[in-house]
Structure 1
Amino acid sequence: MNDISVNEVPVNDSRFPVLRRRGFLAVAGGAAGLGALALAGCAGSGPATDTAKGGGKPRRGGRLRAAFAGGGASETLDPHLANLFADVARAKALFDKLADYGPDLSAQPRLAAGWEPNAGLDRWKVTLREAAFHDGKPVTAKDVLYSYRRIADPVKAFRAKASLEPIDLKASRALDDRTVEFVLKRPTAEFPNVLAAFGAYIVPEGEQDFDNKPVGSGPFRFVSFAPGKSAVFKRSDDHWDGAPYLDELEFVVANEESARVNALLGGQIEYAHELNPTTARAHEGKGQIEIVRLLGSSMQGFVMKTDRPPFDDKRVREAFFLIADRKELVDGALSGAGEIGNDLFGKGYEYYAASLPQREQDLDRAKALLKQAGAENLAVTLDTSPVAAGFTEAATIFRDQAAKAGVTITVKTGSKDSYWKDILDSGTLASYRSGAMPIEAHISQRLLTDSTTNATKWQHKDFDALYQQAQSTKDKTARAAVYERMQRRLHAEGGFLIWGFADWILGTALGVKGVETKAPANSLDWARFDKVWLA
């Protein structure tokens, strides 16, 4: 394979076209929050499982070139500023967190060897495993506290700041080099997911300069970085979770999907991030490249604003639940690359209320509910935008489905640049999606009275009280019962019409092995290049 150094890949190189479209993470409100109560054990994972793409005996060697959409000259290797998929993939190669999200979005230990709460769930003792930074210095409790306090800096725009809010960082302390006592502002049963929060990477104490020669504790070491062009890393032979199989890992920028596909087909790269369903169908099974589908990576739906007409009437919301033909939406808007939803976030994730019956289209019942609510011949505007794949297609399909129930929907297409900001406060009905996060985080960030990204305007003090009850419940089975009770209410009268869950699609060269296939985007095993090898 070609050994292309970073200095040999200019921004306009035809082998690695630099695109204009930014590849933002599909996470409304950030992948943060709180997650799973447990005493954590070993986090080491094997090189190949039955969920990994490709088999055979892993072998060492070679450079893998991975193409992502990038952010141009403003790109940084500061892990606390990670915002794009490319940023996160680079960050997890160089750095590590105390915990990360498993396939079911429960917290799995990384730099933390274990965690244990007190009886009141407002103090947690976290024990660090024996791990070292790339300069040989051990990862200590002081590094952890420095990293979290840096993230929480009120004048900085670090994304994980809101996720760390439950921690009283002034009161938290290092008990010894490998033990941190976190003092919390309130009982938090799901505290391990704070440790796994999006962007909560551990860096050496005092570190501020990350773009010249960053020092982390991740599976790869820094070689070179040219913002908007390329980043080259090499294997860390003494990584605590085992040395990667690859000698080197190179990230190249290719913003347009067509550029990533052409580079993959032409042999200039071995891994192409973020392909669309049409591309996947065109190449799947043809013997040129491998198509990898990460199931359930992106929730797809509509938000109904529950604080304003007509959706302040729960009968109207239920009618809209019953108008949706979910299979038609998945087939049409996602080209079949996904599965139907049931108006609940997190299908397949920890605490998901899978026992609730699957909602089906029932136009007669929908019409009857609208009549009861005095909303016959209802007319509403559905805000959408090409900001996300499938948004405009889903809006058109749902408009036609609603017409069969006597509802007139006017589709209004807004700006990609301001869409997410606009829909949080304006309008009554809008297209929406979210990347993977724990169900508890979805609730805390979007469904409580004081949630900062409460797009449905769901504000109920008794619902808030149930959330606090769950957070104060140490027994996991009892806590799961509270979460199910909350989800039953959302399923009956909430403001999220969740019609599907989209696959995230990757492309790899035929010789790339060990790519995990049951890892939603944003989880630990997504972009897990330390467990990938070249056959």
Structure 2
Amino acid sequence: MTSHDVSLDASCSAGLRRRGFLAAASGAAGLGALALAGCSGAGPAGDPASGDGGKPKRGGRLRAAFAGGGASETLDPHLANLFADVARAKALFDKLADYGPDLSARPRLAAAWEPDAGLVRWKVTLREAVFHNGEPVTARDVLHSYRRITDPERAFRAKASLEPVDLGASKALDARTIEFVLKRPTAEFPNVLAAFGAYIVPEGEQDFDTAPVGSGPFRFVSFAPGKSAVLRRNEDYWDGAPYLDELEFVVANEESARVNALLGGQVEYAHELNPTTARAHEGRGQIEIVRLRDSSMQSFAMKTDRKPFDDKRVREAFFLIADRQELVDGALSGAGRIGNDLFGRGYEYYADGLPQREQDLGRAKALLKRAGAENLKVVLDTSPVAAGFTEAAAIFRDQAARAGVTVEIRSGSKDSYWKDILDSGTICSYRSGAMPIEAHISQRLLTGSTTNATKWRHEDFDALYQQAQSTRDKEERAAVFERMQRRLYAEGGFLVWGFADWILGTARGVRGVEAGAPANSLDWARFDKVWLA
């Protein structure tokens, strides 16, 4: 989305229409966010072919192609919703914390945090950092930022994440220390500090699109919504000045445009490539393909409050109907790995000791018979809103037929799908980007959760979540989270059949892009750690 007098040629600029929503991972601006992919340079650091030994060097401009949002794009980090928005926000601003490879919170602007015995008061100490205007980042700036995000008149992304914080009672103890007062015990409070969109801006900052001031690794140069943004190195960045002189975001909405720009040398980084493109170019020597594992949960969401899925035997039968490897191979073109009906494979607190569920059509038929659901007919809602949705629906329809279940596929609008499926229908295609398991539970599986697509509402389950948040000892807390996941594995509403890779492409001369960690984690879009060999 940047421009450095760069204009994509006709093949690159044609059809810049597809919006790459951060929330698309979960679907919509409320279903959770599929976040961007870890941006740590395209090829392996120290690739012998480069002759540079992997030693970082300074200089140059990197041009990164993202899908954009047209004239509505903004540099206001609290409004960031598109992948491009978030990548720009990450370059210009900082949060108090961010998510590590296992989606646990890691300190950023916060140097340390410490709770009281009751887990309702947290003291957060800021590291020494300065904004681009030379002013220090202070406790007042933090409180201003969080109060702005929670403004009832605004629809800022991180508002729901900050709900546990009583900002009226929270206060600055000194210039670099904040006491956050919470409405209830919250052992996983650092996840709030790392929440998507919870960026820190200077107190009183208003001009985000013509002269934004942050504390991030790059400073603002120019911004043309829907076209480009140019940033330059912040020499005073607290985490070390970036290697790049300049960073340019170029808008290319169609995947083919991003690939052509990368192949043609018009950009050095292309975000969000599809598996077919990856297979065509991986190992061929022209560009590098970077895969971010376990970045997107792929599933079907069954409404547990209505027939036929109000019967847990029917839900278990559907768990057993799924041939997960066939779904991954067919719907994701093999770019992922199978799921086990739980969110967050590889993340902190994931219950990885449960047996891998496999297709068992005989048992599925028996369960349906006991539930009085022989010859069952269901309507599966899906949409081309997300890659692989319609393909997965068709594959599952054929799998279900072998268990005597008739699945009718109903395709919904791209524009309204995520809103529509929250309350309507009985089973639907669903996906989610990376987030902490605790956040997945709080946002989607509690009685009061606003994006509860499976309508999972159980007071005893809610109580277990509160028990986990009230448990200071981490091992004891992990045991409670595992207990909750065992319940979901046995009778929950998410049929999680796979986890998709997030795929990036980079030019051969790009270094520092890390593979492996899921999208939405700290290392996604870490352009401050990238260099040009």
When normalised by structure 2's length, the TM-score is: 0.95
Q: Does 1:452 align with 2:450?
A: yes
Q: Find the aligned partners of 2:524 and 2:31 in 1 and give their Cα distance.
A: 17
The question of whether the paired residues in 1 share the 8 Å contact of 2:93 and 2:216 is answered with yes
Q: Find the aligned partners of 2:504 and 2:415 in 1 and give their Cα distance.
A: 25
Find the counterpart in structure 2 of residue 43 from structure 1. none
Q: Find the aligned partners of 2:388 and 2:15 in 1 and give their Cα distance.
A: 24
1:407-418 correspondence runs (5 A) = 407-418=405-416
The question of whether the paired residues in 1 share the 8 Å contact of 2:314 and 2:368 is answered with yes
Find the counterpart in structure 1 of residue 144 from structure 2. 146
Find the counterpart in structure 1 of residue 383 from structure 2. 385
Q: Find the aligned partners of 2:15 and 2:520 in 1 and give their Cα distance.
A: 24
Q: Does 1:501 align with 2:508?
A: no
The question of whether the paired residues in 2 share the 8 Å contact of 1:18 and 1:253 is answered with no
Deviation at 1:6, TM superposition (A): 3.8
Q: Find the aligned partners of 2:138 and 2:419 in 1 and give their Cα distance.
A: 39
Q: How has the CA–CA distance of structure 1 residues 515 and 312 changed in structure 2, closer, same or farther, with 3 Å as cutoff?
A: same
- Partner of residue 289 from structure 1, selected from 287, 290, 308: 287
- Aligned with 1:523: secondary structure? coil
Deviation at 1:516, TM superposition (A): 1.1
Q: Does 1:350 align with 2:336?
A: no
Q: How has the CA–CA distance of structure 1 residues 393 and 13 changed in structure 2, closer, same or farther, with 3 Å as cutoff?
A: closer
- Aligned with 1:182: secondary structure? strand
Deviation at 1:520, TM superposition (A): 1.4
Find the counterpart in structure 1 of residue 398 from structure 2. 400
- 5+ long unaligned stretches in structure 1: 33-46
For 1:248-286, what per-residue CA distance to the aligned partner results, in whole angstroms no more than 9, with x for missing partners?
Answer: 000000000000000000000000000000010011111
- Aligned with 2:222: secondary structure? strand
- Partner of residue 163 from structure 1, selected from 156, 161, 164: 161
Q: Find the aligned partners of 1:178 and 1:273 in 2 and give their Cα distance.
A: 36
For 1:313-360, what per-residue CA distance to the aligned partner results, in whole angstroms no more than 9, with x for missing partners?
Answer: 000000000000000000000000000000000000000000001000
For 1:104-134, what per-residue CA distance to the aligned partner results, in whole angstroms no more than 9, with x for missing partners?
Answer: 0000000000000000000000000000001
- Aligned with 1:470: secondary structure? helix
Greater relative CO (CA pairs within 8 A, separation 6+): 2
Q: Percent identity?
A: 83
The question of whether the paired residues in 1 share the 8 Å contact of 2:6 and 2:266 is answered with no
The question of whether the paired residues in 1 share the 8 Å contact of 2:379 and 2:410 is answered with yes
Q: How has the CA–CA distance of structure 1 residues 11 and 515 changed in structure 2, closer, same or farther, with 3 Å as cutoff?
A: closer
Q: How has the CA–CA distance of structure 1 residues 464 and 380 changed in structure 2, closer, same or farther, with 3 Å as cutoff?
A: same
Find the counterpart in structure 2 of residue 24 from structure 1. 21
The question of whether the paired residues in 2 share the 8 Å contact of 1:53 and 1:515 is answered with no
- 5+ long unaligned stretches in structure 2: 34-39, 48-52
Find the counterpart in structure 2 of residue 519 from structure 1. 517
- Aligned with 2:145: secondary structure? helix
Q: Find the aligned partners of 2:529 and 2:9 in 1 and give their Cα distance.
A: 31
When normalised by structure 1's length, the TM-score is: 0.94
The question of whether the paired residues in 2 share the 8 Å contact of 1:53 and 1:514 is answered with no
Deviates more, 1:15-24 or 1:472-481: 15-24
The question of whether the paired residues in 2 share the 8 Å contact of 1:9 and 1:16 is answered with no
Q: How has the CA–CA distance of structure 1 residues 13 and 250 changed in structure 2, closer, same or farther, with 3 Å as cutoff?
A: farther
For 1:395-421, what per-residue CA distance to the aligned partner results, in whole angstroms no more than 9, with x for missing partners?
Answer: 000000000100000011111111000
Q: Find the aligned partners of 1:308 and 1:130 in 2 and give their Cα distance.
A: 54
1:180-259 correspondence runs (5 A) = 180-259=178-257
1:4-403 correspondence runs (5 A) = 6=3, 8-9=5-6, 16-17=13-14, 19-25=16-22, 26-28=24-26, 29=30, 31=32, 54=47, 56-403=54-401
- Aligned with 1:159: secondary structure? coil
The question of whether the paired residues in 2 share the 8 Å contact of 1:387 and 1:416 is answered with yes
Q: How many pairs align? A: 518
Q: Find the aligned partners of 2:302 and 2:44 in 1 and give their Cα distance.
A: 37
Q: Find the aligned partners of 1:384 and 1:148 in 2 and give their Cα distance.
A: 36
Deviation at 1:50, TM superposition (A): 12
The question of whether the paired residues in 2 share the 8 Å contact of 1:97 and 1:196 is answered with yes
The question of whether the paired residues in 2 share the 8 Å contact of 1:204 and 1:216 is answered with yes
Q: What CA RMSD, in Å, does the superposition of the two structures yield over aligned residues?
A: 1.8
Task: Please tell me the residue identity of whatever aligns with 2:21.
Answer: F
Q: How has the CA–CA distance of structure 1 residues 419 and 48 changed in structure 2, closer, same or farther, with 3 Å as cutoff?
A: closer
